[in-house]
Structure 1
């Protein structure tokens, strides 16, 4: 009788346990294991008790996945199976030597992030953990690092968790507010489109069809065989498989969001166009200076051979795009409040603007080229079509095909950018003011990855650089200079050299 009752309970659990989506399976597979690290540097120290309270009252209730593991049922279907969870087992408190300077602790924090970035989650436990670093950094009194498997959800899923427990640091009784960024066409734009001449409509439709056809062919080739050549930022892949979770250095630059918007307005671009142009210009500076460094060290011929300089003109960027835009979300508030948990992201491939063998090129040209490339991408139906394409491929060809598509999307391209838009005010996490907030991603078969966050009228751009391959000291100097040169080119010497616009934080 008892055994029958237990079997019935188990059957009911299998029936009610939600299946793991094909994308989530791919994000936690043997060939791709993407992990998100959300870092909060707090102005005041937070206790383990407060951390446990957050996990109990805010994290676990959000979704069954936080108290579940992936397990196949009797029918071979991979599902989220609920398990008993001890929150204390998910909090890790590292120990550093006492009596060091803030600079030393900041360096140890970066090394610690790199260390946990090389470690996957233990089997038999839900795919998340919290690391509480009780030592000061250059930006805070202590640091909380939330480590999530990307299989649990995407950036906007996790944003909902944090923003529900975060308030305004200046006025705790008031909720955080977000930029009123429009994510779809406004009614005015739609009305304008209706009164456009039929000839222009036809040309616009033809342009969309051409761009969509091109993107379908390019994406198909990219995930099948089309591969970027080796370059200063792209490792020369061979048949030997490399570890996905490899040690990396972390570096970030924080700039005034208002200055970025001024560049955007000046060039008629978007903030994303400016960021992509900036990344291209950083990589351009690094490529040219790395080439020069190798030529000085090994001679011109051997230096160029080691550099694989042809790769500098053919680099592809993976741009992570939130597909909630295509599902009716009109603005950021809609996206954050929406109950659509999970991975609602897609990948767009974009050529990085390149001006080879010319370090003195106008940095604004990179933004202008980036805008042109992204405008063409926006006038394409590839992104809305990609998700149903993946679902169809999985249904017809199996999960391994989806895993391979995801892996090759990253492996065959040169680098990746992901961005999140945060609140306009300074956040307070469990009543502790947040001095700095950013996130990074590991487990991607690329040697550099970029993430950006806008919050509290600041733009934070973070790069992870593979140790042993990327010259992190050279790259970070190029990163700092890229921001300075962009602002100087846009506004001239007086404004370009404005004080305290660039706040640096080295690893």
Structure 2
């Protein structure tokens, strides 16, 4: 393994913590299964995340402003994380292959890992990167609850200490897991207050269409477009699950890429710059994130094609190295079960109340427009058009119903194979998560950045955007057999934001520029 020299694992001396058993709100589907207060069936999506071809783990990387005190974290874990049933339960599989969560005592010695690091290490940033890379070579031990935290106390270029949470995806969807971790944090300015997240304005999609159509003269047309978009999206989804593949490019994943370790890199850009563009162009942050990602991918692929062909035609809209009509899509896994908010999860941990939880996902296949544009704003205009079109569709609800039908009809193996085919026939995973609006600390440790990602998916690339105060962290999880230079892609995305922001300011489109 890389970067193992000079490392010894020191586990805190702590007795096992006995956790209390609490009841949990169940869906109608869960009620059909026999369970006791100490046992719960694993959801269908949770079982799928344990299939060999889809064994996905979530990583939440947190940079601390100060050296991390393991003893403080250990003392607080029983009052917070361990109050959640998933974090104090074993995954048990019976002889019939049925999986269930069984409550157990938690030995924190097996979950909090603190390596002793050579103080004279030459490159702390490279050490952290290689340490996480080595984590992605392995899965979590099923003889204990499926989570752990690694505390790396060394000074990097952007933190004094780094905590790496590793959590199996079967414990919950990415948004729920991040909400749970944030529910363990408090505002630095007010240690009694939970962090606040940006609120999203309702756009009336899906469930709001009845209200909109009743107040709109063209309501019938609006409904017809909704159903047509849904029909086309579901048709593309079905075709993708069977035969429709993205264009083979230099960033396409090879077979069995999900088994390869992942190189995790991140770069922080200005969230204020993204908000400036959003306001000036009357868009959402997600529109801007998708726009600069497709701009960065276009530049990166243009360079890779030039290297592959052995000559460079240029990097303009009319003269470049890109093939015509590249089909390149991202998979978005959307949790359609109402998720618990930060306050609800905090109440669960502090007051032993109940909170909604679970994996219940649908798919969205989001096309990315690959091509060089002389006008940087064309990238985000195209992104907004694509996303607005996707909002006017019931794709996520229908694909969730299809996945559930396949699971019930054909079983977990076949359903997993179909999901795996969808991932193999697309190019990457994309997500954008809103973060706290103020500085926060976890167990008294002030955080400088948040960088969530995952590994175990069949794609060679995963792109995550995570906001925090006035920062936006771009996180890439890559198969380095496909991406030997992931920092170049990070730089391409960051440079694309700068070009878009400069274009907005130069043309006087923003209130900042006008003032």
Range into which the TM-score falls when normalised by the shorter chain:
0.7 to 0.9
Distance (Å, rounded) in 2 between the aligned partners of 1:218 and 1:163: 36
Structure-2 residue corresponding to 1:67: 88
Structure-2 residue corresponding to 1:365: 378
Structure-2 residue corresponding to 1:504: none
Distance (Å, rounded) in 2 between the aligned partners of 1:470 and 1:225: 25
Structure-2 residue corresponding to 1:393: 406
Structure 1 residue matching 2:447: 3-state secondary structure: strand
Structure-1 residue corresponding to 2:15: none
Q: 1:170 to 1:190 in 2, by over 3 A?
A: farther
Q: CA deviation at 1:345?
A: 3.7
Match 2:356 to one of 337, 340, 343: 340
Q: 1:183 to 1:92 in 2, by over 3 A?
A: farther
> Which ranges in structure 2 are unaligned for 5 or more consecutive residues?
1-33, 314-319, 348-353
In the TM superposition, what are the counterparts of 1:80-479 in structure 2 within 5 Å? 80-100=101-121, 104-183=123-202, 185=204, 193-197=213-217, 200-235=218-253, 237=254, 241-296=255-310, 310=323, 313-324=326-337, 327=338, 339-355=355-371, 359-472=372-485, 473-479=487-493
Structure-2 residue corresponding to 1:482: 496
Structure 2 residue matching 1:93: 3-state secondary structure: strand
Structure 2 residue matching 1:290: 3-state secondary structure: helix
Question: Comparing both structures, which one devotes a greater share of its residues to helix?
Answer: 1
Structure-2 residue corresponding to 1:54: 76
Distance (Å, rounded) in 1 between the aligned partners of 2:322 and 2:36: 54
Q: CA deviation at 1:320?
A: 3.1
Deviations 1:7-48 (A, max 9, x none): xxxxx9768511111101111211101111011111112222
Q: CA deviation at 1:144?
A: 0.7
Q: 1:308 to 1:480 in 2, by over 3 A?
A: closer
Structure 2 residue matching 1:234: 3-state secondary structure: coil
Aligned length, in residue pairs? 464
Say whether the 8 Å CA contact 1:58–1:161 is kept in structure 2. Answer: no
Deviations 1:429-450 (A, max 9, x none): 1111101111111111111110
Deviations 1:336-386 (A, max 9, x none): 98822122443200110122xxx4532221211111111111111121222
Structure-1 residue corresponding to 2:64: 42
Deviations 1:297-326 (A, max 9, x none): 7x99xxxxxx995487110111233424xx
Deviations 1:196-251 (A, max 9, x none): 22xx111111101111111111111111221112112213x4xxx42524233333
Q: CA deviation at 1:50?
A: 1.6
Structure 1 residue matching 2:296: 3-state secondary structure: helix
Q: 1:267 to 1:140 in 2, by over 3 A?
A: same
Structure-1 residue corresponding to 2:19: none
Structure-2 residue corresponding to 1:31: 53
Say whether the 8 Å CA contact 1:166–1:430 is kept in structure 2. Answer: yes
Q: 1:72 to 1:184 in 2, by over 3 A?
A: farther
Say whether the 8 Å CA contact 1:135–1:142 is kept in structure 2. Answer: yes
Q: RMSD across aligned C-alpha pairs, in angstroms?
A: 3.1
Question: What TM-score results when the alignment is normalised by the length of structure 1?
Answer: 0.83
Structure-1 residue corresponding to 2:30: none
